[in-house]
Each structure stands twice: as structure tokens, then as C-alpha cells.
Amino acid sequence: MQDSDLQQKRLMAAAIDAAIAIAIAVVFGTIANVMGVGAGLAGRGGGFMGFVPHIIAFVGAAVLLAYVLLRDSIVSGQSVGKKIMGLRVVLTSGQPMTLMDGVKRNALFAIGSALGLISATLQLLPCLGGCLAWPLWILDSLATFAIVVIEVFNIIQDPNGVRLGDKMAYTRVTAA
């Protein structure tokens, strides 16, 4: 496979994986919002039912962080996107990657998700949590956008399509 073919497949795989991450956030966010509105309409917004949306948001943020960190490690170096596009991640030595290699490889992408989890955790705090959570949510969004732009730029500019995460974990993407 030529480098340009590999890069195109990598970008398509990344788009598929990003769509899955967005879907996770949308599903949990929608459930949390519906539960919040329902609790408010039922007049139970101040009790436990008013707290449930924050718990759902926290669980969603934790699931999203786990997906971002582990997506390449679960099925022999293949995220869902890489599986669909016929790619896999291996160590630069050609050996299969371990769980920790996958975590290292995706650590940069996980920064935004980790900030999202911290934001969701802060929202579990009565009164003060909401005030502290919003600035982190904004930082989470900006950090995620910046990291995605930088990593896509690296894939496109590097002749071998190597991004910072690959350099950190000593990995490369190959045809499956």
C-alpha cells in the first residue's frame, strides 16, 4: 500500500473513530438532559432525581475516556475505524502492541476526554461544581480541537504518516 493510500485510510479510520466518540458523548448527554428535564417537570429537580443527570454525565465521560484510551488496544491493534479500513497498529519493531502501548499512543487525544471527566466530576459537587465545570468544559473542547488538528497535520505532513502519539508509543499503522 502506498503512503498516500495509507494516509487516506488512516484519516477515514480516524473519522469513523471520532464519530463513535461523538456518538458516545451525544447519547449520554441526551440521556442526562432528558433525565434533568424530566426531574424538573416532575418537581423533583432538587432531590436525588435532580442529581441523576450528573451521575449519567459522569458515567458518559468515563466511558468516553476509556474508549479514547483503549480503542486501538481492544482488538489486536484495531479500533473500529481501523478494522473497517483494513488497518492495524503495531510497534515499530513489528510486534503487536500491548494495552499500555495503546494508552500511550492515544494519551494526547485523551487530554480533552480527561478534562471532560474532571468537569463531570465537579458537577457532582453541590453548588460549586457547576461554576467550576463550565470553564473546564470549554478548555476540554478547545484542547480536543487543537490536538486533532495537530495530529491530522502530522499524519498529512510526515512522509510515513507518523503522528505524535505514534512517536510517544513507538507505533506505526500498517495494512491489516
List pLDDT tens digits, range 32-50: 888 877 766 666 556 666 7
pLDDT band at 60 (very low <50, low <70, confident <90, very high): very high
- Residues contacting 165, CB < 8 A, separation 6+: 104, 105, 106, 107, 108, 109, 151, 171
Residue 1 has pLDDT above 60, yes or no: no
Q: Is the pTM of this model over 0.75?
A: yes
Q: Report which of residues 6 and 13 the model is more confident about.
A: 13
What percentage of the chain exceeds 90 in pLDDT?
Answer: 56
137 vs 107: which has the higher pLDDT: 107
Helix/strand number for the chain, H first, E second: 7, 2
